Amino acid sequence: MGNGPPQRFVNPTNELAKERNRAASERTINAWTGICISLMGFGVAFDQISRSLRRQFPQVPPAMTHKTAPLVGLGFVGVGLVLLVFALVQRRLATYALERQDYVLLPVNRLNRLAVATLVLTGLIGLGVILLLP
């Protein structure tokens, strides 16, 4: 019994399982990227729509001030960027685990909880903004 590197089990079943995991990781990062782009797009659109409404209807008192709307828009863009970073880190961890000789699934529970908490908080803020508008 030597103390050499762990024995690598290379067979079609293991390699196909790793390929399925890689494909699942790709689908996950694509889904997260779409969500992040949607959040960032909403942030940009929110500010632009607010400006357009103020120009079209100057006599109507705005529901949000000209300073608040850009902050809400920037908030959504920021959340989109933060979630994209989380997704990229999680993708890298999954890829690293698959590339190891001794495949070990690395825990990403904290990262997932943080991402979900960020999405829930963003949803609650969005709901609050919608409810505050007359």
Q: Indicate the average pLDDT of the chain.
A: 78
- CA dihedral (10, 16, 17, 23) positive or negative: positive
Tokens coding 75 = 């908030």
pTM, two decimals, is 0.65
pLDDT tens digit string along 41-97?
988 898 888 888 888 888 877 666 777 888 888 888 888 888 888 888 888 877 777
Whole-angstrom CA distances from 73 to 6, 50, 83, 120, 122 are: 52, 10, 16, 17, 12
- CA dihedral (63, 53, 130, 83) positive or negative: negative
pLDDT tens digit string along 103-115?
655 566 677 777 7
**pLDDT value for 107:** 62
Residue 35 burial (CB count, 10 A): 16
